[in-house]
Amino acid sequence: MFVHTVFFWLKHPENQDNHKALRAGLESLKGVKEISAAYIGTPAETRRPVIDHSYDFSLTFVFADKAAHDAYQVHPVHLEFVAECQHLWERVQVYDAVS
């Protein structure tokens, strides 16, 4: 299994149109058949010193293996998402894990 987790920080987090646009872009990624499971969300209302809740959106995609992840990275839907939404974020942080 290959788990791909990405955190997004919006350039203008106060702008609700930007929130909606990024959310729609993230949701469009769920159409990529290589994704086995998809979770998209916003920070939970948990507040402990070890929790970073500074991001605006997160996504976690589970793939069968690295090959499926690599296919996703060059998939037209993913490339279109980056091209259409990258102007919305100021920072992206990726964590990949395998089991």
Q: What is the pTM of this model?
A: 0.94
Burial tier of 75 (Cβ tally within 10 Å: 0-12, 13-18, 19+): middle
Q: How far apart are CA 73 and CA 38, in angstroms?
A: 15
Q: Who's near 76: CB < 8 A, 6+ residues apart?
A: none
Task: Tell me which fold the domain 2-45+53-98 belongs to.
Answer: Alpha-Beta Plaits (3.30.70)
- Residue 93 has which token pair? 């942080």
pLDDT for the residue 54: 95
Q: What is the pLDDT of residues 10-54, one digit of tens each?
A: 999 999 999 999 999 999 999 999 999 999 999 999 999 999 999
Q: How far apart are CA 29 and CA 13, in angstroms?
A: 21
pLDDT for the residue 97: 98
In the chain, domain spans? 2-45+53-98
